[in-house]
Amino acid sequence: MTDDGTPRRYLKVQQHLQDLVTGGEYQPGDKVPSERELALTLGVSRMTVRRAVDALVRMGLLTRDSTAGTRVSSPKVRRLLNHAHLHSITQMVAATGGRAGGRLLEFQTGVASGRVAEKLGVAAGSPVVVIRRLRLVDDVPFCLETSYLSAQRVPGLAAQDLLDGASLYQVLADRYGIAAAVGESVISVSVATAAEAQALNLPDQHAVLLYRSVVQDTQGQPFEYLTSVNHPNLVVFNIGEGRSAPSS
């Protein structure tokens, strides 16, 4: 089979390599075959393989080293649960040497469903602020987060308050006197929707780490219900020290 250099050929090679990396055949730190080996195995040119590998490096799935070769990336984000000092994702990313970033995807006021109302301790149909963000480490997407806040507790909160990577928890503390304390959290494995997979650069219906938390303030009152869809190759969860809120 010869390489015709078409974008379709390059994308097929990229998808093949991505399936190998995310499918469990390689573990973090494992060295992947050289470009020459991959080109021979797949019957394409080394240039096509190089383009595919470059794309996976940009996505954070592979790491290229001039001496050690190309390896599967280790997790870039360690999310600490119940840590006494590190509360926000921005802090956690910085603590592990990464550069945190984010994109505000949605900010709107809606009504609380039965489930959200139960988590926030409000009546069903009560107004809630819904905030959806894509979180980044070194410009690589690693999780999609949706926060539900009781609108009565955050009057005047606007999308502009969260632009340029501003911390939600810092805004809540400075403007509303809401200090995050204990988080009751659950971690499970789920399957990414088409939109989630696209946002996180994953194959359709790929497994993801689903993190859900009811965050209370220092008075023991719930103020946020958080759902977080995490890239399984880029995020690991660790138990931290003490009891504290999870992230924002």
The predicted-structure confidence for 37-48, as pLDDT tens digits, reads as follows 999 988 899 999
Cα 119 from Cα 53, distance rounded (Å): 43
> Among residues 94, 64, 63, 62, which one has the least CA distance to residue 78?
94
The residues, ordered by sequence, that sit 6+ positions from 245 with a Cβ below 8 Å of its Cβ are 87, 169, 180, 181, 182, 183, 215, 216
| 135-161 per-position pLDDT tens digit | 988 888 999 999 999 999 999 999 999
d(CA 148, CA 132): 9
Q: Are 29 and 74 in contact (CB under 8 A)?
A: yes
User: 135 forms bridges with which residues in the sheet?
Assistant: 102, 143
pTM of the model: 0.73
* Residue 4: predicted pLDDT: 47
112-141: per-residue pLDDT in tens? 999 999 999 999 999 999 999 999 888 889
pLDDT of 130 reads 98
On whether the CB atoms of residues 178 and 152 are closer than 8 A, the answer is: no
Q: Where are the alpha helices (DSSP H) in 7-166?
A: 7-22, 35-42, 46-58, 89-95, 114-120
The 10 Å Cβ neighbour count of residue 169 is: 21
Residues 171/232, Cβ–Cβ less than 8 Å: no
CA proximity to 70, closest of 18, 16, 29: 29
Regions in the chain scoring below 70 on pLDDT = 1-7, 80, 82-87, 239-248
Residues 85, 97: Cα–Cα separation, whole Å: 17
